[in-house]
Structure 1
């Protein structure tokens, strides 16, 4: 239904603060008889979720995602376009771990939904889902994928602009030494430069940064610095 996309475009254009945006998304979900909405932003080593679904479900859903057992998020990352899903239509053709996901979701009244994934900067992805207690959604295959991507892209930009408070977020911390070393890297210094400035051994800096990267499954120091800046640690 392209009216849903039109509603998303309107929210992306006019929402001016945290409360207005969240209320508008909840009202849009209700208008189309969905249980609620779930907007997830995934970046290397980081995630945040804005949603009006049960906090208990959000924690369980994120656990499925971290363990690579979340079929909706896996599909979103693979195809990067709007899709409709339901537990009933996939019965008999899905792995056991996916069955566990759908069985858990059904305990919270989530049996089907429509999901809008888009690629964002820094190798990330934003995924907006509207979920339903219905066993199967009908008629939603007609959603224009290009218009849908545009609408969610505009919504993502608005969320970033007004700095919406997440419902849940990846915990993040750096030790004082890790933060100091990352701060020097952010200023353009190398690991070797940082060791000289701090009057410590090269391996001391290298190992400290490696420990921080490993903690958040990051590939390099550039990702670590970017994450630390986003979280206001440096």
Structure 2
């Protein structure tokens, strides 16, 4: 790895502010030939959706047009990133069902780009890192050459975005940090299964099941298993 890349990535890894980390990412991708870099996070809490972070250096007119026309509701890139962990390249085929959006991107010089999703294991929060430029298509070689950097940076920014979100909305802290196994144990508990039953179903020891229950109780900030199940259900985690 070139020294400047390693230096920037190390700097980003220890940054504690998402806006500052984004600027590091922007400079990083600018140096790699991308004019634009965007990062956004969407989180779901108790059935309500809210954007916690939306950072980009897109033209002001494009941000205004995108919001005014509610393009996010038809954007295939957004839809992809909410259902996949794989990168996606922007091209006419990707936007086949949203030709108006593709035409608008072309007019703004934003048609050459790609995006990398990042998400929590339980899918309650999703982030999207995008890189774009006004010239030259994104080749398969370039995509995979830069993929490792994008994955690292997207997860670093996602973590910082969620830290900021949870500071602003304390009730969401536990929604985004229960492990898949903890969710599974609570789901079976909601069905009335005992620790012994769950241990048999999941091929775990009863002690391990109780550990996951205790961990869930602590993370959800409640006092017992029933309360943990109720709170997880209200947060649509189970």
Q: Which interval holds the TM-score relative to the shorter structure?
A: 0.5 to 0.7
Contact 1:114 1:131 in 2 (8 A): yes
Q: What is the distance in 2 between the residues matched to 1:131 and 1:4?
A: 21
1:30 CA displacement: 1.4
Q: Quick check: 1:46 aligned with 2:50?
A: yes
Give runs of aligned pairs for residues 74-113 of structure 1, distance below 5 A.
74-87=79-92, 90=93, 94-95=96-97, 98-113=98-113
Contact 1:29 1:37 in 2 (8 A): yes
Q: What is the distance in 1 between the residues matched to 2:64 and 2:7?
A: 28
User: CA offsets, 1:164-204, max 9 Å, x none?
Assistant: xxxxxxxxxxxxxxxxxxxxxx998xxxxxxxxxxxxxxxx
1:2 CA displacement: 10
Describe the SS at the equivalent of 1:86: coil
User: CA offsets, 1:199-225, max 9 Å, x none?
Assistant: xxxxxxxxxxxxxxxxxxxxx8647xx
TM-score (norm 1): 0.56
Describe the SS at the equivalent of 2:90: strand
Name the structure 2 match of 1:71. Answer: 76
Tell me: CA distance 1:46–1:7, structure 2 relative to 1, closer, same or farther (3 Å): farther
Q: What is the distance in 2 between the residues matched to 1:126 and 1:187?
A: 25
User: CA offsets, 1:124-143, max 9 Å, x none?
Assistant: 21000011112511222324
Q: What is the distance in 2 between the residues matched to 1:143 and 1:82?
A: 12
Could you list the runs of 5+ residues in structure 1 that have no partner in the other structure? 164-185, 189-219, 224-234
User: CA offsets, 1:11-42, max 9 Å, x none?
Assistant: 53133446632431221221112121111111
Give runs of aligned pairs for residues 35-184 of structure 1, distance below 5 A.
35-44=35-44, 45-47=49-51, 48-62=53-67, 63-65=70-72, 68-87=73-92, 90=93, 94-95=96-97, 98-120=98-120, 123-138=124-139, 139-143=141-145, 148-161=150-163
TM-score (norm 2): 0.55
Tell me: CA distance 1:74–1:54, structure 2 relative to 1, closer, same or farther (3 Å): same
Q: What is the distance in 2 between the residues matched to 1:144 and 1:29?
A: 9
Q: What is the distance in 1 between the residues matched to 2:8 and 2:87?
A: 14
Describe the SS at the equivalent of 1:39: strand
Q: Alpha carbon RMSD of aligned pairs, Å? A: 3.6
Aligned pair count? Answer: 163
Q: Which has the higher contact order (CA 8 A, sep 6+)?
A: 1
Tell me: CA distance 1:59–1:152, structure 2 relative to 1, closer, same or farther (3 Å): same
Contact 2:71 2:101 in 1 (8 A): yes
Describe the SS at the equivalent of 1:134: coil
1:6 CA displacement: 5.9
Could you list the runs of 5+ residues in structure 2 that have no partner in the other structure? 166-219, 223-232
